[in-house]
Structure 1
Amino acid sequence: MNERPFDLAVVGAGPAGLAAAVAAGESGLRVALVDAGPRPGGQFWRHAEGADGAGHHDWETFASLRSRLRRLTAGTRVRHLPLHQVWAVDRAGDAPFTLRLTPAFDGATDEVTPAVRARAIALCTGGYDRQLPVPGWTLPGVMAAGGVQALLKGSGTVAGRRAVVAGTGPFLLPVATGLAAAGAEVAAVVEAARPADWLRRPLGAAAVPGKAVEGAGYAAALLRHRVPYLTRSAVTRVHGGDEVTAVTVERVDGSGRVVPGRTRRLAVDLVAFGWGFTPSLELVVALGAGTERGADGSLVATVDRARRATVPGVYVAGEATGVGGAAKAVAEGELAGLTAAVDAGRPAPTKRGRRLAARIARAERFAEAMHAAHPVPERWTEWLTEATVLCRCEEVTVGAVERAREDLGAGDPRTAKLLARPGMGWCQGRVCGFATAALLAAGAGRAVTAEDLRALGKRPLAAPVTLGELAALPEPPDPPDFPDPDTA
């Protein structure tokens, strides 16, 4: 730990983190790039070793950023630390940040760096699939849509032979077409919204014209593979014994309420659920940075136009500021890297900054239109039964949480955690947090608030660590001696 501090530590090497590290490094900063993956790219550009970009969107951007990163790591500007996770960040006064690191998984790397220090930190931590429970969702064969795609991209693995892809949002399309292209039979894409809902924000929908072309390509692929696209519909139940065998698909109205008499059953062995994404904010919250409720109902980091967080020396970019796609993340990451360089005394690239800000503004308008067109259905909790598992880690049912609310007065997530234990297991509420907040809010007849989400997003450790790593932490300094007021 006697090594000279880096000027900037970037956490995450997805689209935002990769762009931030490259921009800061090329601006003259010494950068540490920490990422859990074996290769840069994140989930969006996840690929097997030696992949040529087939099946990936905007691979040219990734290839350019990767090439620039390699030039920087070949020198002394950027130190890339793959297969490492940040589990905590410490800072005492004006001293540099200390990032505590752990291997991404047991045996991930033989060269473990336990910590790095940096004068500033850029959090580009991405997000993960948001899940809404339904009866039967704990059966083997039910997966997050992002997990299905990760297997396809990372190793070419197809998770099932006959699949249904269900939820809401454009992300369902690449998952369904990817499965079909890999040889799986896709029984249907089940979308809770409808295409006409994009007309609610026509200017936002038109802000990024390339997205319409991309969507048309997916539509053509669905037609080519003869995949039914069911709108205003939802998978409300998963059937099976030891594994998934079928799903119930029901028609729903704009609020998510089931329309009676419009039910079908599909035989499948794979269910890929995608209800949008939850930003990974563990480090944002741990550092005390401001958060707010985003356009899609998730908790997001509060940043200024230059991507500065509310804590000095902290920058946030990508999905952590609001889910909006890879192009938005790249622009935000580049701007965050440039801002960190300017704050460190490097010249301000004014024109470049303005171009990036304009690109981000367009992407944000598109993201707002997307979230307006594909909201989480307001009444989705009506699909649940008392026996539906809400928190998988602690096996807490919907009924247990409702009884805690009705009988014990647990009207908020913090109290519900104490009395019924949702969000108290291994995942610390990452999977069940949003659903728990929504269930409690629905029972109280109110909307989910940012405070609800914060209560389920505070985690003392951002990643699992060993007792040995905790024991290796330096001893805190002895407290100062104060005179005894009774003898002074």
Structure 2
Amino acid sequence: MESRMSDVLVIGAGPAGLHAASRALDAGAEVTVLDAHDLVGGQFWRHLPDDRAAADEAQLHHGWKSFQQLRVRLEEHPRCRVLTGTEVWAIEPEEHGAAARVHALSGPSGALRREEVLLTPERLVLATGAHDRVLPFPGWDLPGVFSAGAAQALAKAERVAVGERVLVAGAGPFLLATAASLIATGATVVGVHEAAGPSALCRGWLSRPWELASSARKLTELAAYVTGHLRHRIPYVAGSAVIAAEGNGRVESVRVTRLDRDWRPVARTERDIAVDAVAVSHGFTPRLELAIAAGCAITADRFVAVDARQATTVPGVYAAGELTGIGGMALSAVEGAIAGLEAAGGVIPRQLLAERARQRAFAIRLERAHGIRPGWTDWLCDDTTICRCEDVPFGALSLTEGATQSLRAAKLSTRAGLGSCQGRTCGRTVEEILRQSPGLLGTTTTDQRPIAAPVRLGEFARE
């Protein structure tokens, strides 16, 4: 077991974590960066290892030069230690001057014996990011149906296309990035279907257009995506969704339909499209388990509550990036910079605070344009799988008239959310389905996971 006191511990090596670590070093702190993946960069800068690097990684990554500079600086800085392949499985609130007790295991995922790591930092920055949110539909458990994040990860980190004819669907600008990654691996993208309709897109992006002038980098990225779509003649269909996937043993076609403003399917607008893969994303869900375990307060819209300095409600614990709100790489980076400086006792420049305000305004536009609407449950059937780990269908979660149910009771009676992913995939979906039932009792969340990652019983039993 390894145990040491670190001035600042950063959990997560994506844009928020890397910027937090860099700014903490600027302020003179001893810094440890910890990430479960073998390579730093997070989901945004997911890339090939150096021993088989692509000829031009920058083609698949925005801000690649900035990332390279951050990575080299942290790896070579004498006051910084980078621990990759190290997964945090629990956090305990700590007294006696430390922000928390952080329990981690270091070694290849699935290894029979990993090294135990115990860290007790004076300051802790949580930058654990988010994962894809995929709304279920009939057939979404067929082989060939991927989350957009998985499809992009395979394209970026392995140069593998998930199929030859791929349809991208869901909501948000991430669909455009996924399509671009698929094209770069040689796939044919037969269409991008955005659930938000034209009116929602206009309401989110075209109101007060002069404010977008401060987001020049994002507009440049958007222009690059649009240019690629036009060059490859990819249809972009707003107000449309995949409502079913069909095939014998794997996906062979998808059914798409027009949606109304609340995302309810419009009758007699369905059509089938032949594909061998589909990539779906309806936004992102923050990874809250470590923040909750540390005792941090969570807002009503289910993000970590932070003040103007990115400090949580727990002394010595800070949060940055998608944990505090979904807003993209630029917002994550500036929040990480502020959290790192504050955690190390540095002075926060006004320019950083102003940039964060601009990026948060952009995040509000994002939610206004692409946020999930309640009518999506109308495309579910009673036998549509909701919890894939435990094969729980939609019908098992539907309440009969006059019945009462709580989230806890639903989990115990159906096992929804009790499988190997512990509700990371289906948790928010189960909550929303139950919330639409008049007999729901209580407001328990599915984000509480005291054991945040799989741990072998033998690792617990080890002296």
Distance 2:364 2:370 in 1: 10
* Residue number in structure 2 paired with 1:44: 44
Distance 1:28 1:168 in 2: 42
Q: Deviation of residue 187 (structure 1)?
A: 1.3
Q: Deviation of residue 107 (structure 1)?
A: 5.7
| Structure 2 CA distance for partners of 1:2 and 1:220, relative to 1, 3 Å | closer
Which amino acid in 2 is paired with 1:26? D
* Residue number in structure 1 paired with 2:453: 463
Q: Deviation of residue 377 (structure 1)?
A: 2.6
* Residue number in structure 1 paired with 2:196: 193
> What are the equivalent positions in structure 2 for 1:96-111 lying under 5 Å apart?
96=98, 97-103=100-106, 105-106=108-109
Which amino acid in 2 is paired with 1:428? Q
Which amino acid in 1 is paired with 2:37? G
Distance 2:439 2:255 in 1: 28
* Residue number in structure 2 paired with 1:263: 270
* Residue number in structure 1 paired with 2:222: 215
Verify the 8 A CA contact 1:390 1:432 in the aligned structure 2.
Answer: yes
Distance 1:170 1:83 in 2: 30
> What are the equivalent positions in structure 2 for 1:332-411 lying under 5 Å apart?
332-342=335-345, 348-350=346-348, 352=349, 354-403=350-399, 406=401, 408-410=403-405
Q: 1:428 aligns with which of 417, 422, 426?
A: 422
Q: Deviation of residue 27 (structure 1)?
A: 1.6
What 5-or-longer segments of structure 2 have no aligned partner?
none
Paired residue secondary structure (1:323): coil
Verify the 8 A CA contact 2:75 2:81 in the aligned structure 1.
Answer: no
* Residue number in structure 1 paired with 2:65: 60
| Structure 2 CA distance for partners of 1:265 and 1:319, relative to 1, 3 Å | same
> What are the equivalent positions in structure 2 for 1:228-239 lying under 5 Å apart?
228-239=235-246
Distance 1:388 1:2 in 2: 47
Q: 1:156 aligns with which of 152, 155, 159?
A: 159
* Residue number in structure 2 paired with 1:5: 5
Distance 1:335 1:261 in 2: 51
Distance 2:439 2:156 in 1: 42
Distance 2:113 2:136 in 1: 39
Q: 1:70 aligns with which of 61, 67, 75?
A: 75
Which amino acid in 2 is paired with 1:434? R
2:250 paired with 1:243: yes
Distance 2:326 2:90 in 1: 24
Verify the 8 A CA contact 1:303 1:321 in the aligned structure 2.
Answer: yes
Q: Deviation of residue 133 (structure 1)?
A: 0.5
| Structure 2 CA distance for partners of 1:139 and 1:4, relative to 1, 3 Å | closer
| Structure 2 CA distance for partners of 1:382 and 1:65, relative to 1, 3 Å | same
* Residue number in structure 1 paired with 2:168: 165
Q: Deviation of residue 110 (structure 1)?
A: 8.7
Given the two structures, how large is their TM-score scaled by the length of structure 2?
0.93
Given the two structures, how large is their TM-score scaled by the length of structure 1?
0.88
2:78 paired with 1:80: no
* Residue number in structure 2 paired with 1:138: 141
Paired residue secondary structure (2:58): coil
Which amino acid in 1 is paired with 2:294? L
Verify the 8 A CA contact 2:94 2:101 in the aligned structure 1.
Answer: no
Distance 1:415 1:242 in 2: 34
Give me the identity figure in percent: 42
Paired residue secondary structure (1:42): coil
Verify the 8 A CA contact 1:205 1:370 in the aligned structure 2.
Answer: no
Distance 1:63 1:195 in 2: 38
Distance 1:142 1:407 in 2: 37
Q: Deviation of residue 418 (structure 1)?
A: 2.3
What 5-or-longer segments of structure 1 have no aligned partner?
343-347, 474-488
Distance 2:396 2:432 in 1: 15
| Structure 2 CA distance for partners of 1:472 and 1:25, relative to 1, 3 Å | farther
Verify the 8 A CA contact 1:164 1:271 in the aligned structure 2.
Answer: yes
Q: 1:310 aligns with which of 309, 313, 316?
A: 313
Distance 1:2 1:248 in 2: 53
| Structure 2 CA distance for partners of 1:3 and 1:460, relative to 1, 3 Å | closer
Verify the 8 A CA contact 1:248 1:266 in the aligned structure 2.
Answer: yes
Distance 1:195 1:60 in 2: 35
Paired residue secondary structure (1:261): coil
* Residue number in structure 1 paired with 2:333: 330
* Residue number in structure 2 paired with 1:182: 185
Q: Deviation of residue 423 (structure 1)?
A: 0.7
* Residue number in structure 2 paired with 1:413: 407
Larger Rg: 1
> How many matched pairs?
453
Distance 1:55 1:315 in 2: 31
